[in-house]
């Protein structure tokens, strides 16, 4: 992955983290890894937990952030969430997957940031 894509992804994650915090979510972990994969952000608000995949796009040439989240990726996200909960003794908590859809213009300015709870 080239440096500009890495920088774009990091910027998207930082913006998503700030947006989650504005909505009352405490950021518990970032870029948590296990054998099943990685979750970009683990967030908690009260007893509710969210496992957040951040998808950042610059321009619309490759489609929307939502377009890039495949069913296979959502399945991996669920496996990672379950591994996190098991490792931390949280098997009985309320949890859900979430997408942070971040769109930026070619100048690097934020166009849209939407938090979408996934089914």
Q: pLDDT tens across 12-62, in order?
A: 999 999 999 999 999 999 999 999 999 999 999 999 999 999 999 987 777
Q: How far apart (Å, rounded) are the C-alpha atoms in residues 23 and 14? A: 14
CB contact at 8 A, 26 and 45: yes
Q: Which residues pair with 66 in a beta bridge?
A: none
Q: φ, ψ for residue 3 (rounded to 5)?
A: -60, -35
Q: How far apart (Å, rounded) are the C-alpha atoms in residues 84 and 1? A: 26
Mean pLDDT of 75-99: 96
Q: Residue 71 corresponds to which tokens in the numbers above?
A: 């069913």
**Tokens 């990672």 sit on residue:** 80
At 62-71, the pLDDT tens digits run 788 999 999 9
* Length in residues, the chain: 119
Task: Residue 89: count other Cβ atoms within 10 Å of its Cβ.
Answer: 8
CB contact at 8 A, 117 and 98: yes
- Domain ranges for the chain, please list them: 3-117
Give the per-residue pLDDT at 79. Answer: 97
Q: What is the pTM of this model?
A: 0.92
The top-level CATH class assigned to 3-117 is: alpha beta
């Amino acid at each position: 992955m080239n440096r500009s894509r890495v920088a774009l992804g990091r910027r998207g994650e930082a913006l998503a983290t700030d947006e989650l915090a504005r909505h009352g979510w405490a950021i518990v972990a970032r870029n948590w890894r296990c054998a099943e994969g990685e979750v970009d952000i683990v967030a908690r608000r009260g007893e509710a937990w969210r496992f957040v995949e951040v998808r950042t796009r610059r321009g619309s040439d490759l489609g929307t952030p939502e377009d890039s989240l495949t069913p296979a990726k959502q399945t991996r996200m669920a496996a990672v969430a379950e591994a996190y909960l098991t490792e931390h003794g949280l098997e009985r908590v309320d949890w859900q997957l979430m997408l942070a859809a971040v769109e930026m213009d070619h100048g690097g300015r934020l166009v849209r940031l939407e938090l979408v709870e996934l089914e």
